[in-house]
Structure 1
Amino acid sequence: MSLPTLIDLPPALETLGNQALQRFGEAAGTLGDSPATPFADWPPARRAAFARVCANSGFVLERALRDPAMLLQLAGDGSLERSLAPDELCGQLAALLADCAQEEELGRRLRRFRHRQQVRIVWRDIMRQADLAETCRDLSELADACIDLACDWLYERLRARFGTPLGRRSGRPQRLVVLGMGKLGAGELNLSSDIDLIFAYPEGGETDGERRSLDNQEFFVRLGQKLIGALDAITVDGQAFRVDMRLRPYGSSGPLVHSFGAMEQYYQDQGRDWERYAMIKARVVGGDREAGRQLLELLRPFVYRRYLDFSAIEALRDMKQLIRQEVRRKGMADNVKLGAGGIREVEFVAQVFQLIHGGRDRSLQRRSLLEVLATLEGQGYLPPAAVAELREGYEFLRYTEHALQAIADRQTQMLPDNELDRARVACMLGCAGWEAFLGRLAHWRERIDSHFRQVIAVPGEDEASEGRPVDAQWLPLWENGGDEAAVCRQLVEAGFADPQQVRQRLAALRGGSQVRGMQRLGRERLDAFIPQLLARVVEQDAPDLVLERVLPLVEAVARRSAYLVLLTENPGALRRLLSLCAASPWIAEQIARFPLLLDQLLNEDRLYSPPQEAELVAELRELLLRIPEDDLEQQMEALRHFKLAHRLRVAASEIAGTLPLMKVSDYLTWLAEAILDQALRLAWRQMVVRHGNPRRSDGSPCELDFLIVGYGKVGGIELGHGSDLDLVFIHDGNPQAETDGAKPIDGAQFFTRLGQRIVHLLTAQTPSGQLYEVDMRLRPSGNAGLLVSSLGAFRRYQEHEAWTWEHQALVRARALVGSPRLAAAFAEVRAQVLGRPRDLAVLRREVGDMRAKMRASLGTSSTAAGTAENAFEATVSFNLKQDAGGIVDIEFMVQYAALAWSHQHPELLRYTDNIRILDGLAQAGLLPCDEVRLLQEAYKTYRAAAHRLALQKQPGVVGGDRFRDERRAVMRIWRELGLS
């Protein structure tokens, strides 16, 4: 939202402001020869600003009257009218403490510095010279400076007395690490916040004092106690910051300071859900910052789980329920932080996504709430409209919180109950009066609470409120099987065809080793999920089939019950799961093998709307940028997760009818190309790091002078759901020249190893499977040839040694990823090879002979590959791909035509997919348009049937009575071309 508007002061506040101006003038007049700008010289605008600020903030007036010179100096040096530079606060405090010699004096200077800066910050906030971000940043940097510099000052005094604490194992000096939690950690401190701190030190040992040494634990406990006293103790100068140490391990009952090892052990063994929530915002605010970063990295696995952790919703819901009970008990409904639709609910919405997805999506590992909201929008976790309302509502509440605290520098989020403070709050929020303010507040709290309930809702409450059947009726069947006759009757009435089989399947699951070995929490989650599953299964047209397909998934994730929570917490995701399982056993099997795919079911719009090619490439590139360059294992897993997720989205869209066949192949091909591009870049970077850059023939370093060429389905942009990749690798380096790295190898070795590494990245089996099966047999000389060829060797082979069938394959070959210069050169070679004149009689004979061999070895034997008289009977089979009149016949005719006529019609080589080559044949008048359309429609019909069969996990075979007209027409055109 924009800054609250400055409005005219209402009469009561205007009177207060004038009185404050008069009182300050009297106090400032007693200063005598003050070096600051005299009050008498203040311009009217500054006097009006002072009156406005003091009318709204009794705190500023009190500090101004108590120390008028301080305010005059702030006004005189321009601090009230400008933003501070980064680290400026730290520099000012460092200069102030430079000659400080006594601990008591340290506390006094810290307090006076804090009061001075607090006046400046409140002034700029009320005058709308600083927005919310600047105010929070200044407050957080103020706390950081006080903590860090006080810690350093006290450390040096203790070290002078007891010696330097040394690590027992490392022998290195040890320093305290101060973690800031909550709003301080996030850099979002409010005007009168306490500061939540945790103290730690790297390792045990003792100090090296000459007279007396201390155990490191005792040394740092003393340091921590003194630091708390320097900040928290109330003296005649007031208090710098209220310090809260209750977020440390074991809370108030635990040691004040812990070693890193003790911290890691505690969070690993005893860390609770609310501590994960708190640790999201942890930041090093004082002491040894490098060691602090190591500590946070050590604790990262506790905060961000590597899997989708939907149990976070349960934890946050429980926390919110406790907060609401406390709000009701203490009558705090008017608390803008803890009440319904308050600040905490916005924080919970953001943090639930962080806890669930943050382990896999590092872009969510942020402390700032507004940055997290922007990520949730950018990554598609929440719709833009929802994020906009959460952001604006949060900012309004934070401005309200600051207004409440600016009045008296008191930590409160409760709406005032007196007319004066109500007038102040309304004025600071730019509202005409209290009722107008309450109207805006109610609007934003209602919108925030609505979004909160959508994200962290109690599952099933909507269904219950609408009078739908509850899931409890299915609980007896799951728990003990119930009375057999009654249960069977219930199952039949619900739509199951074989109730005994259903009971047996559930009993097998209940008695299986996976369920028997579950821990108590996991079993509770399973017991909550199964009744809900059964209630949703009976909504399907074929509940027996759906249950049969989904139970393997339940068994697969039983020991990882966070996935059960995902489905329990998201009824929409469960319904989408069951619909997809009903439509495709292939999808059911994929999700059972890779439960991480359940994440894709959460967002219906994303599930049925795969991204376009450019978006796909950008998404994968951004995903890999979040992973350290040297973490090959995580990079390989990320590539596999990406492929699995997007392949599921394409399959779901195909089933839903939102993606036609040709687009399905487009998307699957784009997906393969995006993955190949990143695999090449990863492999190249790894090789260059180890061996340096290879050289070109002219001696210059190669810059990704490598090309991956796709043949077959990937070359023809016709990939299916389970297609492998036919690839050929080409380079343009000098095979003899050595690389320029620390471990040089010759160019031939470099490119061979590069090719091997690419194949390994694609084919290696990891917990998430392999990316693709890769077939390299179409390279020059096949399996007997080099894995990677130079462009010159590739040209020579194609011109002098390649067989006709290899030139047929070249028709569908195209550059997929790699060097654009090399891709253009490959296209020239391809055009030259394919575009040369051929003896048509010889060509027809060789193409026909190759096709005959394929039919004999791969076609349906009982029908002589579809050529026998009985080939069209229902009792026999038709192989969509290999039998006569099928897919390969059409492909061979297209390839024959390209080889036969491209020397006269080079435009036939422009494309590599069959449909567009057929278009070219029609446009050139080489085939009648009617026959081209017939071949295209037959080709698409066959491929659509093959896709459907693949999603049903069935081979590409149908009854012999299917597609009779198409097959006869294809066979007729085959004969007319003279290929028989």
Structure 2
Amino acid sequence: MSLPILDASRFYTRWINADSSRAQKVAEVAKLSLNPDVFARVLQNETDSGATLPAAMRRLRNLVIATLIRRDLNGDANLNEVVSTMTAFADFAVQHQLAATMQEMIALHGTPIGEESGQPQEMIVLGMGKLGGAELNVSSDIDLIFVYPEDGETQTTTPEQRSLSNHEFFVRTGKKLIAALAEITADGFVFRVDMALRPNGNSGPLAASFGMVEDYLIVQGREWERYAWVKARALTGKPEDIAVLENIIRPFVYRRYLDYGSIDAIRNMHAQIRAEVTRQEARHPERSHNVKLGRGGIREIEFLAQVFQLIRGGRDAALRDRSTRKTLRILADKQLLKPEIVAELLHAYTFLRDLEHRLQYLEDAQTHTLPVNDADRLTIAQMMGYSDIATLLSELEKQRVIVARHFDEMFNDKQNGQKNEQQSDAPNVAAELAVVLSSADSEDAITQFLTQLGFDEAADSARRLLSTWRSPRLQTLPEASRNKLVALVNTSLPIIAKVTDKHSVTLSRLLDFLEAIARRAAYLALLTEYPHALERVIRMIAASNWAAMYLTRHPLLLDELLDDRTLKAAPDWDAFARDVRQRLEESPGDTERQMDILREMHHAQLIRLLAQDLVGDLSVEKLADHLSALADKLVSETIHAIWMMLPNRHRDEPRFAVIAYGKLGGKELGYASDLDVIFLYDDDNQDAPGMYAKLAQRFITWMTAHTPAGILFDVDIALRPDGASGLLVSTVASFEKYQSTSAWLWEHQALTRARYCAGDADIGARFEVIRENVLRQERDPVRLKEEVLAMRKKLYDAYPNKSTEFDLKQDAGGMIDIEFIVQYMVLRYASQHPQLTGDIGNIALLKLFGELGLIDKELGVRVGDAYRTFRKLQHQSRLQGLERARISKDKVAEEIKAVARLWQTLFG
């Protein structure tokens, strides 16, 4: 630091020069880590010297400020140390002064007792703003709110004490606490105190009971107050009382759904702040550099971080951190903001906060504006390490431009300020859609408008549009929601005309979707704020009826359509599993919430895969691999979560495994496939059978239960030993014995598509040994063929096809025939060719049969190709929401012929 501290801070200079011993004190304390222990020691020294607590606290405050100025300007402290130290001192001062004030008040009026609990009551002081976020300025005031748990009266013990209501007791306590901190004496003050954030602001009572706080937040709490209460942190009080208070505050601040309405609310709040700053700057142009509230200032960075908290904090507890800096880093970790954007914002935040502190170091004044005179500006520039004012102003402008750009990207009014290209090309009648919808001749007007857009069946679409608009569900919406809904339809119509030729069908699906979300203003806000998400919704529902129904059932997934980086990224299933576990651990003991977390995270991954699928980025096989891996991870994390919640569990990790059969076992899972599973365990503990049965039962419940987020998977356990009459869980030994001596042939067929899915890996390895041994058994070829054919006939008879179209799965020459061929070949030849037991899938096995000379090589490849074609066609049918995948025989005649030929070759 080229500028001496005595020349940099007039406050520091005055304070040091007022007492010759102070310079030495600062030098000694500057060598220490400033923490509550040091504060307590200095405070004790002052009181031992005869100072009252208020006087001693003020002297301590000045010493702390002077020490921070010295350390910061000498380069020995960074921003984190400065704000952490100031926060720790504020906590210390409030706690000590409140303790002394409470002692004084109890001596005068007795102990406040809760009316319901009969327990002594303590005042909880909430730190708000930068104090709550542990990022306090050196010369900041502190925003406080005073609350107490219960109403009641004080309990007196002496005749001299005069009883008060708890409310009056804590109001008086609050007044005394404010005076102890904020009154200016010969020693200065400790902190200026601002109580304006309390319920009803300056017109509200100084202290409020939990009941009063809850009633206020529910009935009168305004949107800007949610922003303020994000930072609320209890500085005093009993832990159990603080927990109750947090449960009152949390639902007000954090919505359980994604709350995109917060963007508009913060935008409006920011506009009001900017208007006031602009007004002040117009009156005082020389004060145009407000580093806190000005354009691209500290407040815009805080807003950027907190809008993500308000939108997502209800679903993701990690985003409830009160620190702006920590929140920004979490946003980067979660890929909600690009790491490079966060790096720029953190750099700007550090620069602006450092500058803010140097403005305050000058006179220990609560200021955020550059000084008017050049001499002081040069002093500030030199404190910042610059040689002249121009260089400082240039860097300040650079950082403010960066912040403003990122702020605008988030908060620009997309509805009014950024008319998208689809809207600009639409006929003028679209801008007056609300008027047209409510007019007597609206059907003709809308039909004409849709015809101009090129809609097929424009009259039908017009009737559907009017029917939706005039439905009681929409007509009873608040006016703001109806206006947003009209605007969304207005925007959507030209998009539908552009992206699909199925205009009427797509509009009908979109209106079903909009009707489903109409009462959730947050979803309307999301689509309004992000027009590209609306276009993506339209493209998805145009391509797939299943996608349309899925989005309509789970509109929470709209959030997943915002960011191309996450939507198009290849899945990292190990990272996904870690994220699932972390999210589950954030809600310990809350079964309902944990079940919803599993469903929400499953839905999010599913919509990402669906988006990639619909644009052709995934083959059917690759999609099935991903869906199977997703199910594996969810099964694994569910088992872990349930086990951790079981009382009296006898080991840390269960000796328990889930074995997958069918589509999951063959890694051919579809979007809505069931999970065919069995449960094995290997544990000699006497409680093991009951514990693992309970684990399996709860697993099935967690998978299949309907919650507000839907279900996770349907589960089929019919393939367990002895089927419906068998035990829910089996030991590895009993499973091995059953498969070797008692299982039916069809159970061995099922075993060809079985694999370890989740749980204890050692049990998984033992299962694979059992599976291979069973599949490699020598079998009577004649009897094997007879049983396979009998089972195939049974299935064929169970699913008769009375239509003229070909059933891709059930009909002769279809998928079931191919699967039976593969199963037969594995059971017939695995004893001679052990490689046939590999879990490589039907197509690869057909190719392997040909390479081993067990079937015609070319025919094996053709049947494998047929299976791939059938799966693709079946998948397309599922995407359109069709229950059965049927198609004209002419379109798959060659594939049917190849399958029939191989079937005839093997079975005659």
Q: Which residue of 2 aligns with 1:672?
A: 631
More moved, 538-547 vs 174-183 = 538-547
Specify the code of the residue in structure 2 equivalent to 1:685. Answer: M
Q: Normalising by structure 1, what TM-score?
A: 0.88
Question: Structure 1 vs Structure 2: percent identity of aligned residues?
Answer: 39
How has the CA–CA distance of structure 1 residues 101 and 503 changed in structure 2, closer, same or farther, with 3 Å as cutoff? farther
Q: Which residue of 1 aligns with 2:296?
A: 341
Provide the C-alpha distance between the structure 2 equivalents of 1:748 and 1:656, rounded to a whole number of angstroms: 48
How has the CA–CA distance of structure 1 residues 321 and 847 changed in structure 2, closer, same or farther, with 3 Å as cutoff? same
Q: Does 1:88 align with 2:17?
A: no
Deviation of residue 901 (structure 1)? 1.3
Q: Does 1:772 align with 2:713?
A: yes
Deviation of residue 686 (structure 1)? 3.2
Report the secondary structure of 2:498's partner residue: coil
Provide the C-alpha distance between the structure 1 equivalents of 2:86 and 2:130, rounded to a whole number of angstroms: 10
Q: Which residue of 2 aligns with 1:723?
A: 673
Q: Which residue of 1 aligns with 2:792?
A: 851
Deviation of residue 930 (structure 1)? 2.5
Structure 2 counterpart of 1:445, from 400, 408, 423: 400
Report the secondary structure of 1:882's partner residue: coil
More moved, 903-912 vs 519-528 = 519-528
Question: Would you say the 8 A contact 1:151–1:287 is kept in 2?
Answer: no
Provide the C-alpha distance between the structure 1 equivalents of 2:538 and 2:442, rounded to a whole number of angstroms: 27
Deviation per CA, 1:10-42: give whole Å up to 9, x if none: xxxxxxxxxxxxxxxxxxxxxxxxxxxxxxxxx
Structure 1 counterpart of 2:53, from 106, 114, 136: 106
Report the secondary structure of 1:411's partner residue: coil
Q: Which residue of 2 aligns with 1:960?
A: 889
Q: Which residue of 1 aligns with 2:738?
A: 797
Specify the code of the residue in structure 1 equivalent to 2:306. Answer: Q
Specify the code of the residue in structure 1 equivalent to 2:69. Answer: V
How has the CA–CA distance of structure 1 residues 702 and 66 changed in structure 2, closer, same or farther, with 3 Å as cutoff? closer
Provide the C-alpha distance between the structure 2 equivalents of 1:389 and 1:599, rounded to a whole number of angstroms: 25
Question: Would you say the 8 A contact 2:132–2:233 is kept in 1?
Answer: yes
More moved, 483-492 vs 358-367 = 483-492
Provide the C-alpha distance between the structure 2 equivalents of 1:951 and 1:601, rounded to a whole number of angstroms: 18
Q: Which residue of 1 aligns with 2:536?
A: 576
Counterparts of residues 604-753 of structure 1 (less than 5 Å) = 604-628=564-588, 630-687=589-646, 689=647, 691-693=648-650, 703-734=653-684, 738-739=686-687, 747-753=688-694
Counterparts of residues 12-411 of structure 1 (less than 5 Å) = 52-75=4-27, 77=28, 79-84=29-34, 86-92=35-41, 95-96=44-45, 105-209=52-156, 210-211=158-159, 212-288=162-238, 290-331=240-281, 333-411=288-366
More moved, 634-643 vs 466-475 = 466-475
Provide the C-alpha distance between the structure 2 equivalents of 1:97 and 1:226, rounded to a whole number of angstroms: 21
Q: Does 1:548 align with 2:508?
A: yes
Structure 1 counterpart of 2:435, from 472, 476, 492: 476
Q: Does 1:533 align with 2:492?
A: yes
Structure 2 counterpart of 1:933, from 845, 848, 861: 861
Report the secondary structure of 1:281's partner residue: coil
Provide the C-alpha distance between the structure 2 equivalents of 1:645 and 1:54, rounded to a whole number of angstroms: 58
Counterparts of residues 492-503 of structure 1 (less than 5 Å) = 492-503=451-462
Deviation of residue 97 (structure 1)? 6.9
Specify the code of the residue in structure 1 equivalent to 2:656. Answer: F
Deviation per CA, 1:358-410: give whole Å up to 9, x if none: 00011101101111111111112111121111111111111111111111111
Deviation of residue 540 (structure 1)? 2.8
Provide the C-alpha distance between the structure 2 equivalents of 1:831 and 1:390, rounded to a whole number of angstroms: 57
Structure 1 counterpart of 2:816, from 873, 888, 905: 888
Question: Would you say the 8 A contact 2:43–2:56 is kept in 1?
Answer: no
Deviation of residue 469 (structure 1)? 4.2
Structure 2 counterpart of 1:430, from 350, 366, 385: 385
Question: Would you say the 8 A contact 2:664–2:676 is kept in 1?
Answer: yes
Deviation of residue 335 (structure 1)? 0.7
Q: Which residue of 2 aligns with 1:696?
A: none
* Structure 1 outlier segments of 4+, above 4 Å: 96-102, 287-290, 481-484
Question: Would you say the 8 A contact 1:546–1:578 is kept in 2?
Answer: yes
Q: Does 1:969 align with 2:898?
A: yes
Measured on the aligned residues, the alpha-carbon RMSD in Å equals: 2.1
Counterparts of residues 767-846 of structure 1 (less than 5 Å) = 767-846=708-787
How has the CA–CA distance of structure 1 residues 93 and 314 changed in structure 2, closer, same or farther, with 3 Å as cutoff? farther
How has the CA–CA distance of structure 1 residues 377 and 703 changed in structure 2, closer, same or farther, with 3 Å as cutoff? closer
Provide the C-alpha distance between the structure 2 equivalents of 1:425 and 1:670, rounded to a whole number of angstroms: 58
Provide the C-alpha distance between the structure 2 equivalents of 1:174 and 1:895, rounded to a whole number of angstroms: 73
Q: What is the aligned length?
A: 894
Deviation per CA, 1:220-251: give whole Å up to 9, x if none: 11111111111111222222211100000011
Q: Which residue of 2 aligns with 1:916?
A: 844
Specify the code of the residue in structure 1 equivalent to 2:15. Answer: R
Provide the C-alpha distance between the structure 1 equivalents of 2:493 and 2:183, rounded to a whole number of angstroms: 60
Q: Which residue of 1 aligns with 2:475?
A: 516
Question: Would you say the 8 A contact 1:232–1:240 is kept in 2?
Answer: yes
Specify the code of the residue in structure 2 equivalent to 1:588. Answer: A
Report the secondary structure of 1:492's partner residue: helix
Question: Would you say the 8 A contact 2:133–2:231 is kept in 1?
Answer: yes
How has the CA–CA distance of structure 1 residues 717 and 234 changed in structure 2, closer, same or farther, with 3 Å as cutoff? same
Deviation of residue 535 (structure 1)? 4.6
Specify the code of the residue in structure 1 equivalent to 2:854. Answer: L
Specify the code of the residue in structure 1 equivalent to 2:768. Answer: A
Q: Which residue of 1 aligns with 2:284?
A: none
Q: Does 1:904 align with 2:832?
A: yes
Q: Normalising by structure 2, what TM-score?
A: 0.95
Deviation of residue 527 (structure 1)? 4.2
Question: Would you say the 8 A contact 1:540–1:546 is kept in 2?
Answer: no
How has the CA–CA distance of structure 1 residues 167 and 462 changed in structure 2, closer, same or farther, with 3 Å as cutoff? closer
How has the CA–CA distance of structure 1 residues 155 and 650 changed in structure 2, closer, same or farther, with 3 Å as cutoff? same
Specify the code of the residue in structure 1 equivalent to 2:642. Answer: A
Provide the C-alpha distance between the structure 1 equivalents of 2:184 and 2:702, rounded to a whole number of angstroms: 62
Deviation of residue 201 (structure 1)? 0.9
Question: Would you say the 8 A contact 2:43–2:60 is kept in 1?
Answer: no
Deviation per CA, 1:262-289: give whole Å up to 9, x if none: 1111111110111110011111123545
Unpaired stretches in structure 1, ≥5 consecutive residues: 1-5, 10-51, 694-700, 740-746, 863-875
Provide the C-alpha distance between the structure 2 equivalents of 1:567 and 1:804, rounded to a whole number of angstroms: 55
Specify the code of the residue in structure 1 equivalent to 2:374. Answer: E
Specify the code of the residue in structure 1 equivalent to 2:699. Answer: I
How has the CA–CA distance of structure 1 residues 464 and 568 changed in structure 2, closer, same or farther, with 3 Å as cutoff? closer
Specify the code of the residue in structure 1 equivalent to 2:75. Answer: R
Provide the C-alpha distance between the structure 2 equivalents of 1:96 and 1:294, rounded to a whole number of angstroms: 38
Structure 2 counterpart of 1:490, from 449, 452, 458: 449
Provide the C-alpha distance between the structure 2 equivalents of 1:95 and 1:478, rounded to a whole number of angstroms: 76
Specify the code of the residue in structure 2 equivalent to 1:424. Answer: T
More moved, 422-431 vs 651-660 = 422-431
Provide the C-alpha distance between the structure 2 equivalents of 1:128 and 1:481, rounded to a whole number of angstroms: 75
Report the secondary structure of 1:518's partner residue: coil
Provide the C-alpha distance between the structure 2 equivalents of 1:465 and 1:66, rounded to a whole number of angstroms: 65
Deviation of residue 923 (structure 1)? 4.5
How has the CA–CA distance of structure 1 residues 653 and 318 changed in structure 2, closer, same or farther, with 3 Å as cutoff? same
Provide the C-alpha distance between the structure 1 equivalents of 2:419 and 2:673, rounded to a whole number of angstroms: 45
How has the CA–CA distance of structure 1 residues 159 and 671 changed in structure 2, closer, same or farther, with 3 Å as cutoff? same
How has the CA–CA distance of structure 1 residues 461 and 390 changed in structure 2, closer, same or farther, with 3 Å as cutoff? farther
